[in-house]
Amino acid sequence: MTATDPALTALSQGWYALSLLHGRIEAHIERTLQTKHDLSVREYSLLDVLSRQHDGDGGHLQMKQVADAVVLSQSATTRLVTRLENRGLLERYLCPTDRRGIYTNVTEAGLELLAEARPTNDTALREALDKAAEDAELAPLVRAVESLHAAV
| pLDDT tens sequence across 47-99 | 999 999 987 777 788 888 999 999 999 999 999 999 999 999 999 988 777 77
Q: List all residues 6 or more positions away from 76 whose beta carbon is below 8 Å from its beta carbon.
A: 67
Distance CA 74, CA 67 (A): 5
The string of pLDDT tens digits covering residues 124-140 is 999 999 999 999 999 99
Q: Tell me if the domain spanning 23-151 has CATH number 3.30.300.30.
A: no
How far the first Cα of the chain sits from its last, in Å, is 38
Helices assigned H by DSSP within 38-107: 41-51, 63-70, 74-86
This prediction has a pTM of 0.87
